[in-house]
Amino acid sequence: MTEIGLFPLPLVLVPTERIPLHIFEPRYRELIGECIETDEEFGLVYAAGDGSVHEIGTRARVAVVVERFEDGRLNIVVEGGERFRLLELTKGRSFQTGVVEEVVDEDEPEDEADAERALTVFRDLAAAAESDVDIPPGDAPDLVWQLAARVDFGLDPKQEILASTTPGPRLRRLIELLETSLEAVRLEHALRERARGNGKVTSLNGDGGD
């Protein structure tokens, strides 16, 4: 167990993911400044609308300092590291701190067929979305995180993936989310094409009514 500085935000960061942050509050300028100076990590936790934070978060390291402003604000890019479980919120600093422990997965390997399926659906999704996103290698040990980092599923499903400690079910849940995203993109394209064809959107079965 260890105590780290926490940065509650309305977002979810998974291991391997990189995201940009604009740091403007004095307390978090202090936290991030210390992390940059000492090359230490802080904990990013998903904060709900009522101010509560989720139990499972991600250690984050400042990967790039993009810009420093004269008033102390920062534009940075952070990278997700290991997951942690928040055991206790602590006080004593201007920013929130907490006692955390490492999150350990159950000893259950992912199915190779599931990994192949996840990559196939991801490739189809990238093609349907006309995205030039990098495709991770199929034998990547952190494949589930590399895929989850590349698709916007929404905060709650992403937190669900982050908090899971069973590799097999976690990967299968990721596949479900990828398939749902693919269906949504294909439906959007179909509706757009129909709208182009007759100037209005009709039902997909062709029954537009009188």
* Residues 24-74: tens digit of each pLDDT: 999 999 999 999 999 999 999 999 888 799 999 999 999 999 999 999 999
Whole-number pLDDT of residue 147: 96
Q: What is the 3-state secondary structure (H, E, C) of 175-207?
A: HHHHHHHHHHHHHHHHHHHHHHHHCCCCCCCCC
Whole-number pLDDT of residue 87: 97
Say if residues 9 and 46 touch (Cβ distance below 8 Å). yes
Whole-number pLDDT of residue 61: 98
Whole-number pLDDT of residue 80: 98
Whole-number pLDDT of residue 200: 57
Rounded to two decimals, the pTM is 0.87
Whole-number pLDDT of residue 93: 95
Task: Round to the nearest angstrom and report the end-to-end CA distance of the chain.
Answer: 68
Low-confidence ranges of the chain (pLDDT < 50): 204
Whole-number pLDDT of residue 206: 53
Beta strands 2-9 and 42-46 are: parallel
Whole-number pLDDT of residue 205: 54
Return the CATH fold of 2-102. 2.30.130
Indicate the domain borders of the chain.
2-102, 112-198
